[in-house]
Homo-oligomer: A and B are copies of this chain.
Amino acid sequence: MTDTQVTLAQIDNYGPWTTTPAPRREPDLQALQASLYADLAEQVGAHDGYVFYTRFDNMVAVTNGLDRAAHERIQETVRNRYPVTLSLSVAAERTPAAALSTASAQLQAAGSAQDVDRREVLAGAVDADAGPVEIAHFDVVDATEKYTDGTGAYETFLRIEEGYAALARHLHATHDALAFFVGGDNVIAVCPRLDPAAYAGAMDHVREETGLDLRVGVGRGPTACDAGLAAKQRLEECREDQVRVGVPATVSGD
């Protein structure tokens, strides 16, 4: 029984390409990376999956609901629209972290990220029965008042990065979850089924380590979009009700 299907997307031989025959203009590289990510977000999103930009040359997607043909189509579109190609490795496991580990190992087995002969690998197998997905959407309590409007933009940025890093390490080490910063003061975590105490504990940890106060809404569903939208709605309710953790009613029971 598996819960989360994860796909690791890696641009083939990207590092060498960026400096061949000479270093390419940074604004073009930034635009290339961001456009490619935007297109992947929509393509994976068309099947209700989520993609996280991560390191841009390596991106992580939650792909419950995407079959092999959908993965091949993404590779085809990238090949047709970009000067680079994409390898994908998909794995479904009991926890998000286990799935990504498997996906990583599969891709490494197929060749190096800088192997010129390794192009457009599609490693691993989809699992049409994987699910449900659990998504936790975190944000910072009073981020705008306390930080954006009050301190320097860089101090705020470092502060939120620190809080994100503390959360990510804790969730990964303790719960085999994968957390990603998604802009603003928002972090999205793909989690195995966790109870409210686990979420509260993670936020306590972040507060102790960095002083940041978080809030979280949790959702569950057949796809990342279903789970994520439920999480976002619950987060809105938490904000209104001044509650720290919003979880599906059935979390403890089902």
Segment touching B, from A72-80, A122-130, A196-204, A242-250: A72-80
Instruction: Output the least CB separation between A134 and chain B (Å).
Output: 15
Main secondary structure of the interface of A (DSSP, over half): helix
Inter-chain contact A154/B82, CB cutoff 8 Å: no
Interface size on A, residues (CB 8 A): 91
What are the interface flags for A1-45 relative to B under an 8 Å C-beta threshold, 1 for contact and 0 otherwise? 000000010100011001100111111111111110111011111
Residues of B within 8 A of A158 (CB): 165, 168-169, 172
The reply to whether the CB of A232 lies closer than 8 angstroms to some CB of chain B is yes
The answer to whether B165 and A60 have CB atoms under 8 Å apart is: no
| A251 contacts B by Cβ under 8 Å | no
Closest B residue by C-beta to A52: B30
> Complex: how many Å from CA A133 to CA B225?
32
Chain A 33-65 interface 0/1 with B at a Cβ cutoff of 8 Å (1 = within): 111011101111111011101111110100000
A228 in the interface (beta carbon within 8 A)? yes
Number of copies: 4
- Tell whether, in the assembled complex, residue A23 and residue B233 are in contact, meaning their CB atoms are under 8 Å apart: yes
A27 near B41 with CB under 8 A, answer yes
Inter-chain contact B28/A77, CB cutoff 8 Å: yes
In the bound complex, what is the Cα–Cα distance between A116 and B49 (angstroms)? 32
Binding site for B on A (CB under 8 A): 8, 10, 14-15, 18-19, 22-35, 37-39, 41-47, 49-51, 53-58, 60, 73, 76-77, 79-83, 97, 100-101, 103-105, 108, 112-114, 143-145, 148-154, 156-158, 160-162, 165, 168-169, 172, 178, 182-185, 188, 225, 228-229, 232-233, 235-236
